[in-house]
Chains A and B, each alone.
Chain A
Amino acid sequence: MSQYHLDYLEQLESESIHIFREIAAQFERPALLFSGGKDSITLVHLAKKAFAPGKIPFPLMHIDTGHNFPEALEFRDWLVKEVNATLIVRKVEDTIKQRNLTEQKGKFASRNWLQTYTLLDAIEEFKLDCCIGGGRRDEEKARAKERIFSVRDEFGQWNPKLQRPELWNIYNGRIHKGENVRVFPISNWTELDVWNYIRKEKIDLPSIYFSHEREIIEHEGQLIAVSGFIRVDDTDVVQKKKVRYRTVGDMTCTAAVESNATTLDEVINEITSTRISERGETRIDDKVTEAAMEDRKKNGYF
């Protein structure tokens, strides 16, 4: 093999950096949607590399449901300082009040669906023409068919019928006023690629990605952290277990997995041997209907 050869992670990295630079050049007001999860942390790392030695030329934006893991928030604030980025936070709580929205009820009442309202308001408030997201095509089948540059109408809707052909490495981000583009720089990465890249680049992660002791209840085979955001019934058995998180979303809709993995190597070993997909294992919301993501995407979801 020649010395002029990129391995698969280097190729993916180069593709993502290329996409980030296209974003910075083509859009006037982009923002990176930052959730505190490993995919968006990877995005920040790639953005940093894309524009070094300059700083990241767009803000990070956190659509805050108020249901975060405290560890993820702490990490967010640390990372923002570390990379010298600008952070915008917009709270779902405020949108609920301003717009008099009805919250979900029930045991795991989630604000996941309501995030869309806050996001669309924030897009309008900051006149964003591009939102950068950490979506990957291996996550599920609606994403598998979405472009890297995904044009949304004024309502934030994805229209699968009107996707632009995306040819070679040429990205067409031209839009009409009021439209915006969601760009997914790590579209072609799989979950394992992200983990391997995090290991290779020694990227810091929030502590909840590693094994720790936590009070949980078991619900339909999934382990949910006890917190003020979920309802613990008399019939629930609260147990202490050693767990880690495979994805980090809201405390109401992210499940933990039992694990003793305290290092990246151990986490990657566990993921490699797991035979359940990331969303299937840890996202409570995706089990509802087969087309859950498709529906949310069409309604302006990330």
Chain B
Amino acid sequence: MDLLRFITAGSVDDGKSTLIGRLLYDSKNILIDQLEALERSTKNRSDGSVDLALLTDGLRAEREQGITIDVAYRYFSTPKRKFIIADAPGHVQYTRNMITGASNTNLIIILVDARQGVVEQTRRHSIIASLLKIPHVIVAINKMDLVEYSQDVFNNIAIEYSEVAKQLGLNEVIYIPISALNGDNIVDRSENITWYDGKPLLELLEEIEIDHDINLDDARFQVQFVIRPQTEELHDYRGYAGKVVSGIYRKGDKVRVLPQDIETTISKLEAGGKEVNEVFAPQSVVIQLSDDIDISRGDSIVKTDDLPNVSNELEVLLCWMDEKPLQPGNKYLLQHNSRLVKAIVRNIEYKLDVNTLQQQVPEGSVRLNEVAKATIKTASSLVYDSFARISANGSAVLIDETSNSTVAAVLINS
């Protein structure tokens, strides 16, 4: 059984909560006491029937203060797959919320209201999906019951959206007509939508091929922690613990340690405390090398025939996530996986309008929820790839040194 992580994106009234509630409910992942709690809180309201959206309802603090926490995680499974849903609320701070929820996902479900068609929000969600290179996109055209399950309505929206997808380079978009409220095409094929011969949503989620989402071609590894037991029997043991970012490593591989730029070979590989002959992404492993080299946290071990970039000047897209705006020229900390370096944001080339993809002349600072193309200079070299090539080695965050907050998502262009 494997694991699929997905995010649902929709504007406030697109029925996102109902969809998630429906998936949990119909796949029998809601337990009796949770259902009772649901019925209790439904009784406290006025209309009577069980409101599936309440299953994803917020905390009391959110209700009282009128805030929404950016992302909640939901879990369910079927005999075929385990699912993790990143449930990000749909309104004001959407860019920040969606990036937080989407950064780790294989798939995005973009909800479109059948009565509205492709709207500005749809476009924005799709742009973010394309920026973050989410591998799989499902466009769920919801509330089909309110347009009499019309095939024409569905087709027109699909045609309209395919233009957006084309412009953004989103490939293999799957379209599905649903009614989350009535359960049409969620778990079972809808009897109301006889003209649709595709699979219901849950089946799509169960069957989408995700093996290729992980890059197994380019070997990248960053040291998280150096294991040195220094006991009598393990006196000289020095193991480099970390997660294989991408690719495959084998015992005997010729490797280069970066940014030191020293060549050596892999003498031993361990996973879970046991010796193995090869390791691959995204395993957490320990690498031992045949030469004694000064290596510490944040250094990279890569194969000699496939090298990443090493530089202290980066072209990046910044998604700003903090109330305090970005001041060009300010110093920040940049964390690239486990490597932490001082960084300065130098030049803001343009701001990207996430509704239209248009480049705008930057005026003043970059604010919360804005996306900007910028140049960053780091105090020491980073070992990276472009986000487009190996996303797991081309992403970073900026941290405000004075508040310790994470203030930006960084997608490295080059």
Contact = CB atoms under 8 A, between A and B. Distances in A.
Contact of A51 (B60, B69, B77, B227): B227
Interface in B34-59: 34, 37, 41, 57-59
Contacts of B321: 165
B241 A172 contact: no
Nearest to A179: B404
Nearest to B335: A170
B37 A6 contact: no
Nearest to B245: A169
Given A17-B272, A53-B227, A275-B31, 8 more contacts: A7-B2, A14-B283, A21-B224, A22-B224, A50-B241, A145-B72, A165-B100, A167-B397
Contacts of A262: none
Nearest to B298: A25
Contact of A141 (B72, B241, B283): B72
Task: Give the most central of B75, B395, B405: most A CB within 10 Å.
Answer: B75
Given A11-B282, A145-B59, A52 B225 contact: no
B61 interface: yes
B280 interface: yes
Contacts of B77: 190, 192
A88 to B, nearest CB: 22
B237 A25 contact: no
Given A8-B82, A145-B72, A167-B100, A21 B3 contact: no
Interface string A80-122: 0000000000000000000000000000000000000000000
Interface string A51-68: 111110000000000000
Contacts of A218: none
Which of A17, A169, A170 has most B Cβ within 10 Å?
A170
B283 A170 contact: no
Interface centre among A12, A51, A167, A291 (most CB of B within 10 A): A167
Interface string B274-310: 0000001011101000000000010000000000000
Interface residues of B, number: 72
Contacts of A153: none
Contacts of A169: 104, 243, 337, 392
A24 B73 contact: no
Interface residues of A, number: 63
A275 B36 CA distance: 12
A49 B81 CA distance: 25
A18 B245 CA distance: 11
A166 B103 CA distance: 9
A144 B58 CA distance: 10
A29 to B, nearest CB: 16
A168 B86 CA distance: 13
A280 B31 contact: yes
Contacts of B392: 168-169
A275 B32 contact: yes
Contacts of A8: 1-3, 81-82
Given A138-B75, A275-B31, A21 B241 contact: yes
Contacts of B229: 53-55
A10 B244 CA distance: 14
Interface in A130-164: 137-138, 141-142, 144-145, 151, 160-161, 163-164
Given A6-B283, A169-B243, A48 B273 contact: yes
B350 to A, nearest CB: 23
Contacts of B37: 290
B234 A53 contact: yes
Contacts of A188: 73, 75, 84
Given A160-B61, A164-B405, A170-B335, A25 B283 contact: no
B31 A277 contact: yes
B389 interface: no
B202 interface: no
Contacts of A6: 2, 282-283
Nearest to A9: B1
25 contacts: A1-B211, A2-B211, A5-B2, A5-B211, A8-B1, A8-B82, A11-B3, A18-B284, A21-B284, A52-B227, A53-B234, A53-B239, A54-B229, A54-B237, A141-B58, A165-B70, A165-B99, A166-B406, A169-B104, A174-B399, A193-B82, A275-B32, A276-B32, A290-B60, A298-B61
A176 interface: yes
A142 B60 CA distance: 9
